Chain A
Amino acid sequence: MPAAGPPVLRLSGVSKAYPASGGASVQALRDVSLEVGRWEFISLVGPSGCGKSTLLGLIAGLDDPSAGSIEIAAGPDGATGEVAFMPQRDLLLPWRSLLDNATLGAEVGGGDRAAARKRARLLLPSFGLEGFADALPHTLSGGMRQRAALLRTVLLDREILLLDEPFGALDALTRAALQEWLLEIWEQLKAAVLFVTHDVEEALWLSDRVYVMTRRPGRIRLDLPVGLARPRSRAVRGTPEFAALKQRLLDALLADTA
């Protein structure tokens, strides 16, 4: 699936330390190097507090690394607006209709608003949001809000999507449905995805490769290629290959706590 060519995103030796009380500093990330190829779906798994969200914040340009470099194929490094970032919470602005939330990116970027709205309307059905264009966020269910947030992210039209535990707050059933749906969307999208989660099965089932991070300070412990053929059916989760991969991921994850 991943096309050959230079990576769209490359992190080399990225570290991040935060000043803490008493002049000390907290090392959130240490020497993290990773690559995301064109149209690749990459997951990042790790225990909570391992700096996954910090890492995404650095890639999104919201903060600068203490050391190392972040190269984004699309444009200058360290700038905001280069990648499409979907934070953990849906962060739909409560005073805006679904459509106005989805097109926030075009509005902020000074793009063509009318065109963005038209495109958003066209995409509503495939996001399961048809007929809700004018709905305010509080009237939507958790799953719908998450899909709306993803629509907002997709409409940013970037080569790289950063998704920070997008399904973390949802019930298991909604979550499973949205995972399948995300794969469908991604296959049409032609964009690279960096997907943060702590759900091992979710990571495996969605990804081309999975990076495992350690507890703080976060480092990359394992880079695991997932050789499962696409498109993947639900049944893949029951195969021995899947089980073996899952075992390797769990071993890498739990090596920390032992």
Chain B
Amino acid sequence: MLAALVGVWELVTRLAAVPEWLLPSPTVIVVEFVESLPQLAPHTARTLLEAAIGYGAALLLAFLVAALIDQSGLARRALSPLLVTSQTIPIFALAPLLAIWFGFGITPKILIVALACFFPIAVSLAGGLRNADPDMQALVRSMGGSRRQVFSKVKLPSAIPALLSGMKIAASYSVIAAVIGEWVGASQGLGLYMLRASSSFQTARVFAVIAVIAVLSVAMFLAVDVVGRRIAPWIYVRMEEAQT
């Protein structure tokens, strides 16, 4: 499917002689990619670093908030509306503000990534904790288990499948969020590199950067998937059983 699409693209750009600044052909993009690799690499590393740190921060914060929501009814009522509201604020509007407050260093980018990734992780983890089997929880209680033991022995492991799906969604957001942060102002990063290329009509380079962003996003997604398979093999077995 993807190959066919690229094939059509290549054909159309060649046959119709579309100017390169308007829509470069895939081969031109590949050539551009290879040529700009020395510059592309450090920018990519920077963006990846921002995405990874922001993602880690989001994971930590989401864990704390979800656990709090799960353990306290008051926290749930107080935090849930805030959670949803935080998601209605467009990142594009927030990025310039964060740049004003935190300057053009790495901090505002990390914050933007964290903000974008926090919501899907927190919501899915809170949902997973809430949906843990009440009978399993009762079993641990019947053994004399404390609230904390019910949480650590039943609720948290039960929530791992939900947590992983939230983490996958967040992983696919993380790179693009870092790029948006860099658009507002940065000294390094794919967002900056892309902005420069587009303002000088180096369209092929813009496409090369887009391709890198896409590949990175997929890579983040797959990384979470691989980690998930390692720490929670039983989930996947059950899914495969359900399919047969």
Q: Tell me the A residues contacting B by CB distance below 8 Å.
A: 57, 60-62, 79-81, 83, 85, 87, 89, 91, 93-95, 104-105, 107-109, 136, 138, 156
Residue of B whose beta carbon sits closest to that of A105:
B143
On chain B, the number of residues with a Cβ less than 8 Å from chain A's Cβ atoms is 22
**Which of B138, B144, B234 is A136 in contact with, Cβ under 8 Å?**
B234
When distances are taken between beta carbons in the complex, the residues of chain A under 8 Å from B233 are 136
Residue of A whose beta carbon sits closest to that of B150:
A108
Q: How far is the CA of A93 from the CA of B157 in the complex (A)?
A: 9
Q: How far is the CA of A159 from the CA of B154 in the complex (A)?
A: 26
Q: Is the CB of A81 within 8 A of B234?
A: no
**Which of B136, B140, B157, B237 is A108 in contact with, Cβ under 8 Å?**
B140
A70 to chain B, nearest CB (A): 14
Listed A/B pairs (23) with beta-carbon separation below 8 Å = A57-B138, A60-B142, A62-B141, A80-B144, A81-B143, A81-B145, A83-B142, A87-B139, A87-B142, A89-B135, A91-B135, A91-B139, A93-B153, A94-B238, A95-B160, A104-B143, A107-B153, A108-B140, A108-B143, A108-B153, A109-B144, A136-B233, A138-B241
Secondary structure at the A interface, as helix, strand, loop or mixed, is: loop
Q: How far is the CA of A84 from the CA of B160 in the complex (A)?
A: 28
Residue of A whose beta carbon sits closest to that of B145:
A108
A-B pairs with CB below 8 Å: how many?
60
Q: Is the CB of A61 within 8 A of B142?
A: yes
Cβ of B232 within 8 Å of any chain A Cβ, yes or no, is yes
B235 to chain A, nearest CB (A): 8
When distances are taken between beta carbons in the complex, the residues of chain B under 8 Å from A138 are 234, 237-238, 241
A-B pairs with lowest CB-CB distance, top 3: A81-B144, A85-B142, A108-B145
A255 to chain B, nearest CB (A): 32
Q: Is the CB of A62 within 8 A of B142?
A: yes
6 further contact pairs, Cβ within 8 A, besides A89-B135, A108-B149: A85-B143, A105-B143, A108-B144, A109-B144, A138-B234, A138-B237
**Which of A61, A87, A94, A105 is B135 in contact with, Cβ under 8 Å?**
A87
Cβ of B133 within 8 Å of any chain A Cβ, yes or no, is yes
What 1/0 flags go to B147-158 for Cβ under 8 Å of A? Answer: 001000110010
A159 to chain B, nearest CB (A): 15
**Segment 109-162 of B: residues with Cβ below 8 Å from A:** 133, 135-136, 138-145, 149, 153-154, 157, 160
**Segment 143-189 of B: residues with Cβ below 8 Å from A:** 143-145, 149, 153-154, 157, 160
Kindly name the residue among A87, A108, A136 whose own CB sees the greatest number of chain B CB atoms within 10 A: A108
Given that A87-B135, A89-B135, A91-B136 are contacting pairs, would A109 and B143 also be in contact in the complex, using a CB cutoff of 8 Å?
A: yes
When distances are taken between beta carbons in the complex, the residues of chain B under 8 Å from A60 are 142
Q: How far is the CA of A175 from the CA of B24 in the complex (A)?
A: 71
